[in-house]
Amino acid sequence: MRTPLMAGNWKLNLTIDEAVGLATALAGQTAGLTDREVMIAPVFTALAPVGKALEGRGIYLGAQDVYWESSGAWTGEVSAPLLKDAGCSHVIVGHSERRQHFGETDEDVNRKARAAIKAGLLPVICVGETLEEREAGRERDVVHRMVKSALEGVSPEDASSVILAYEPVWAIGTGKTASPDQADEIHGYIRGLLSGSFGDIVADRIRILYGGSVKPDNVDELMGKPHIDGALVGGASLEVDSFSRIVRFEKG
Ligand code: PGA
């Protein structure tokens, strides 16, 4: 069965000292959990120090973005091999904030996901529709397009370790969560797409996280759904008590 992954996306927040402090406190409060995984994604500048502080403490380190070239004249970018060098095991790819504010295309997301896989990082690929798209009844079409293009050219073997995150844009940072049934329906739809592309065995292994206003008071019910394999948490991951409660979910 799929091991749940509870991931914190710290976005553009926290100094190095604050990030190390929060990571260390979180490690203390989540120690000894063996039936679930925890990942945090601080800003680039805090990755190496947080990675050092977390050594041997059972929390995975992720970056929030990656560039697809490994090295060279790409001012301002950070590559997958360098993220590995900083201690990362995971990287978030195609977050809706990057798609919306930085013009990332489906093709960019595919290149980033493949670069991550090539370097031995696990990509957490984000997909999800806007409010307008949901109101027009197009959520499945949008998710279909995003999932298919993100995984284009990825072998079934590599696909089994990829992580997807369904994050409806209208639920991110808004306090509006998709209902557990609404989320599970799309997760099930995504799993069906994955079966079509890679076969049932691989599709059954791929974790699909839910993201969008996950909080201590809704995580249990969300995690009780069969196709929800974890959470990608923004706001509520910035505070040790709320994130460790989320990590310690009990299926509702
Ligand atoms: P939120 O963010 O939990 O603050 O809604 C989730 C995300 O953007 O990954």
pLDDT at 174: 87
Predicted local distance difference test score (pLDDT) of residue 1: 85
The mean pLDDT of 64-81, rounded to a whole number, is: 98
Give distance in angstroms: CA of 21 to centre of ligand 1. 21
User: Does the Cβ of 233 fall within 6 Å of ligand 1?
Assistant: yes
CA of 73 to the centre of ligand 1 (A): 32
Q: Establish whether residue 168 lines the binding site of ligand 1, counting it when its CB lies within 6 angstroms of any ligand atom.
A: no
Catalytic (active-site) positions: 95, 167
Distance 116 CA to ligand 1 centre (A): 22
211 touches ligand 1 (CB under 6 Å): yes
- Among protein residues, the one whose CA lies closest to atom 7 of ligand 1: 234
Give percent of the chain with pLDDT exceeding 90. Answer: 96
pLDDT above 90 for 109: yes
Checking 94-98 for CB contacts under 8 A at 24+ apart, the result is: 94/125, 94/126, 94/127, 94/146, 94/150, 95/9, 95/64, 95/65, 95/126, 95/167, 96/126, 96/128, 96/167, 96/169, 96/172, 97/11, 97/172, 98/65
> Does residue 222 contact residue 214 with C-beta atoms inside 8 Å?
yes
Distance from the alpha carbon of residue 129 to the mean position of ligand 1, in angstroms? 14
Residue 32, both tokens: 């000894």
For ligand 1, whether the C-beta of 214 sits within 6 Å is: yes
Tokens for 218, please give them: 């809704």
Ligand 1 pocket test, pick from 210, 215, 232 with the greatest ligand atom count within 8 Å of Cβ, gives: 232
Secondary structure of residue 33 in the 3-state scheme: coil
Domains of the chain, first to last: 5-247 (3.20.20.70)
> Which pLDDT does position 72 carry in this prediction?
98
Sort residue 90 into left (φ over 0), alpha (ψ -120 to 50) or beta: beta
Q: How many residues does the chain have?
A: 252
pLDDT at 35 over 90: yes
Indicate whether 195 pLDDT > 90: yes
Q: What pLDDT sits at residue 134?
A: 93
Considering only CA atoms, give the Rg of the chain. Answer: 17
The β-bridge partners of 159 are none
Q: Within the chain, how many helices (H) and strands (E) appear?
A: 12, 8
Closest-lying ligand 1 atom to the alpha carbon of residue 237 = 3
Residues linked to residue 92 through DSSP beta bridges, in sequence order: 124
Per-residue model confidence as pLDDT tens digits over 111-166 = 999 999 999 999 999 999 999 999 999 999 999 999 999 999 999 999 999 999 99
Average pLDDT score over the chain: 97
For 237, counting Cβ atoms within 10 Å of its Cβ (0-12 exposed, 13-18 middle, 19+ buried), the class is buried
Task: State which ligand 1 atom lies nearest to the alpha carbon of 211.
Answer: 6
**Could you write out the DSSP letters of every residue in 46-110?**
HHHHHHHHHTTSS-EEEES--BSS-SSS-TT--BHHHHHHTT-SEEEES-HHHHHHS---HHHHH
For a ligand 1 pocket test, name from 127, 167, 208, 246 the mutation site with the most ligand atoms within 8 angstroms of its C-beta.
167
Judge if pTM exceeds 0.85. Answer: yes
At 177 the pLDDT is: 82
- Tell me the C-alpha distance between 244 and 131, whole Å: 30
